[in-house]
Amino acid sequence: MASAIGKTGDVPPGGVVKFQVEGKSIAVANVEGSLFGFDDVCTHLGCSLSQGMLDGRIIICPCHGSKFLVTDGSVTAGPASEALNTYAVQVVGDELHISMADSSPGAGDLEVDASTSVGVPAASDRERSYGALASVPLFASLEPASIESLEAFTFRKGFVPGEVIVEEGRTGNGLYIVLSGKVEVVKGLRGARPQTLAVFGPGEPFGEMALLADWKRSASVRAVDEVECLGMDRWAFLAYLNREPQLAIKMLQMLAQRLAETNEKLVE
Ligand code: FES
């Protein structure tokens, strides 16, 4: 059965808009007046495809560049290897309807008017991700809407007890935030006398500065028990900042403030 998801003007030509349908995030793309529905969640590491770029009938994932054909969900370029589910989109009066049964290629093929995009209610996973991102000091100066938009660039990853998440001396690729379980920060993990410096639990981030540059990790971080983390790759984050330079300025101001506070403490 088809569900009404919005108005015909909600998805402008060339646009991709996310809707929450029966608890799933579904993206609808408007390709020259034809509408195509597909899973918003990239089959690689779960980034939001509606935050990506629509290039003709190809949607490009904002995180690692996987490409999918919006007509049938097939992968045209990796790293993703699994196709997306696609959904038939229909226009009924001035409403958009979507059928959650998988569709065949080219299912929703009706003319719509250009207009503005609609917002999407947050699912509980998104709320959890939002809370985790809001706890990162680097994002402390950002508005809630900016933090929400960062969520599209995250992925979730699980670790088994004892697994090393980041290794001292290796170049860091990005940030992690603990969602569940505990991790320990260990100096000299591979040496004769490893030293535990700290233990982090849910909501606590580590590797924050690796978002900005490829500095070497100053300590290792290891899972104490079953751990789930929210991660964000540096290159995806920097690509996002390129598009939203005002966020970079806010973060720069916040970093300058932290530097000034550190200087003050050193002087004392
Ligand atoms: S390519 Fe989409 S999450 Fe990696």
State the distance from the centre of ligand 1 to the C-alpha of 120, rounded, in angstroms: 21
Ligand 1 centroid – CA 265 distance (Å): 42
Q: Is residue 192 part of a domain?
A: yes
For residues 9 and 102, what is the distance between their CA atoms, to the nearest angstrom? Answer: 24
| Selected residue with higher pLDDT from 188 and 64 | 188
Among 35, 34, 106, residue whose Cα is nearest residue 71: 106
Name which of 44-58, 103-117, 241-255 the model is least confident about.
103-117
Looking at 102, 136, 153, the residue that finishes a domain is 102
Residues having CB closer than 6 A to ligand 1 are: 42, 44-47, 61, 63-66, 79-80
- Distance (Å) from CA 111 to ligand 1 centroid: 30
Cα–Cα distances in angstroms (integers) from residue 42 to residues 66, 99, 137, 169, 244, in the given order: 8, 20, 28, 31, 22
Query: Of 164 and 8, which is predicted with more confidence?
Result: 164
Question: What pLDDT is recorded for position 216?
Answer: 83
Residue 113 lies in a domain: no
Q: Tokens in use for 187?
A: 């100096």
Contact 64, 79 (CB under 8 A): yes
Do 134 and 80 sit in the same domain of this protein? Answer: no
* pLDDT tens for each residue of 116-141: 233 333 346 777 888 888 888 888 77
Residues 137 and 257 occupy one common structural domain: yes
How confident is the model over 165-180, as a mean pLDDT? 88
Centre a 10 Å sphere on the Cβ of residue 246 and count the other Cβ atoms it contains: 10
Categorize the per-residue pLDDT at 1 as very low, low, confident or very high, splitting at 50, 70 and 90: low
The verdict on 59 and 159 lying in the same domain is no
| 57 and 164, same domain (yes or no) | no
Same domain membership, residue 163 and residue 76 = no
Domains contained in the chain, number: 2
Pocket test for ligand 1, best of 16, 60, 66 (most atoms within 8 A of CB): 66
> For position 103, what pLDDT does the model report?
52
Q: Would you state the pLDDT for residue 181? A: 93
If asked whether residues 142 and 66 sit together in one domain, one would say no
- CA dist 148 → 85, 172, 254 (Å): 25, 24, 19
- Residue 183: pLDDT band (50, 70, 90) is very high
Mean of per-residue pLDDT scores for the chain = 81
pLDDT at 104 over 50: no
Q: Are 208 and 190 in contact (CB under 8 A)?
A: no
Q: What is the pLDDT of residue 172?
A: 76
Domain residue limits at 55: 2-102
Q: What radius of gyration do the chain's Cα atoms show?
A: 21
- Choose the residue to mutate in 41, 47, 173, 232 for probing ligand 1, maximizing ligand atoms within 8 Å of C-beta: 47
More confident residue, 135 or 16: 16
- What atom in ligand 1 is closest to the CA of residue 62? 2
Q: Which are the contacts of 170, defined by CB distance < 8 A and separation ≥ 6?
A: 216, 217
- Residue 79 Cα: closest atom of ligand 1: 1
Same domain as 253, residue 152: yes
Backbone angles phi, psi at 14, to 5 degrees: 85, 0
Question: Same structural domain for residues 129 and 246?
Answer: yes
- Same domain for 185 and 139, yes or no, is yes
**Segment 14-41 mean pLDDT:** 88
Residue 198 lies in a domain: yes
Q: Using the mean position of ligand 1's atoms as its centre, give its distance from the Cα of residue 49 in Å.
A: 9
Q: pLDDT > 90: what percent of the chain?
A: 20
